[in-house]
Amino acid sequence: MKRTTLLMIALAVLTITYSHAQKLTTPPDGGNKKATVAERIGITDVTIHYDRPGVKGRDGKIWGGLVHTGFTDLGFGTSKAAPWRAGANENTTFTFSTDVMIEGKPLAKGTYGFFIAMGNGDATLIFSSNSTSWGSFFYDEKEDALRVTVKTVPLTQSVERLRYEFMDETENSAVVALEWEKLKIPFTIAVDYIKTQLESFRRELRSDEGFGPDAWVEAANFCVENNTNLEEALAWSTYAIEGVFVGQKNFKTLSCKAGVLNKLNRNAEADTLMKQALPLGTMQELHAYGRQLLRQKKNKQALEVFKVNAQKNPNVFTTDMGLVRGYSANGDFKNALKYAKLAQPLAPDKGNKDALEKYIPMLEKGQDINQ
């Protein structure tokens, strides 16, 4: 009885030991390094998880050799027509936090297994709704969410370990390229940045982020800057002023709504709001608003704002410089030069002192410093 008990204990210990051994973290089989690369396009997060096989002296034997062409029976699993796994070991996966366009074709947000069927000078990219399998042994074309075909590009320099890279980024797109040995497979991921940003604003404004006016101002200003959804922006800017427990009547909220009204060509209403806003502005807010008007080539309005600021905050470098810019933009170089000389001893740092040393000779020659 005693010997039987000891044997059972020994077997239990071996079972536990074996069980735990299977859970230890070790490098992937074959030395294929695990990797993750991610980038944000607009506000869309794109994340790629993959394993990185190496060439390991098999130059000239990767494409059409180790990586088969088209679809084939790998001799294991349920698939009789499997593409390449686009990496090593488990599925290569792409995760998109919002809807995207792959080579101009729509793909819903989510996580996808990624496969490639190599052709002659081209490659068919496959995004599969099955992202949890091992390799492509169980690939099923019925699970395809999207297929696109792209041209492959030869490389002059060999890439030892397979890699995915983001390149040629813009505000709403990026090229993703798989590079290995002497071949690159590039494709474009694009997002509808305006659409996704507005959808995000609508969600966030209904959360705790919307419990103050600044968030509503930010959302409305985005619409103004991108000339989109202006009626919605007007509602948001109004809520920033009048919303229960949220609304505040200050320079930021009033000038925001005025900006929306101007975009809607309701200029008289916008002017009325700005008359209310100007006395409420801080020195920096008024200066920034004056600079904004200069960028919009509204030089007379800008000078009036700089004058209001100088009356509220006299003998300060910032307001004197506002007058320099305002008078200069309106061709009054005599007054611009006067305030430039007044601002000179008030310059807070070397950068501003150097700028004035450049501006004063320009004004003496009748040249606008705002150019």
- List strands edge to edge, sheet with 173-190: 105-107, 100-102, 173-190, 153-167
What's the confidence (pLDDT) of residue 14? 44
How does pLDDT run across 19-57, given as a tens digit for each residue?
444 567 666 666 678 999 999 999 999 999 999 999 999
User: What is the domain-level CATH number for residue 290?
Assistant: 1.25.40.10
Tally of CA atoms within 13 A in the half-sphere of 21 that contains its CB = 6
Q: Helix 213-226 vs helix 230-242: angle between axes, to the nearest 10 degrees?
A: 160
- Residue 242: which residues within 8 A CB-CB, separation 6 or more? none
* Angstrom distance (rounded) from CA 216 to CA 154: 50
Same domain, residue pair 204 and 274: yes
DSSP states of 231-257 as a string? HHHHHHHHHHHH-TTT---SHHHHHHH
DSSP states of 111-141 as a string? EEEEEEEE-SSEEEEEEES--SSBTTTT--G
Structural domain including 44 reads 29-191
Q: Which of 134, 169, 191 is the last residue of a domain?
A: 191
How does pLDDT run across 157-183, given as a tens digit for each residue?
999 999 999 999 999 999 999 999 999
Residue that the structure tokens 């494409």 belong to: 63
How does pLDDT run across 115-169, given as a tens digit for each residue?
999 999 999 999 999 999 999 999 999 999 999 999 999 999 999 999 999 999 9
- Provide the 8-state DSSP code for 86: S
Number of structural domains, the chain?
3
Same domain, residue pair 256 and 206: yes
Looking at the DSSP bridge assignments, the partners of residue 142 are none
User: CB of 87 within 8 A of CB of 135?
Assistant: no
* Angstrom distance (rounded) from CA 123 to CA 39: 23
Q: Does the pLDDT at position 218 exceed 80?
A: yes
Q: Is the pTM of this model over 0.75?
A: yes
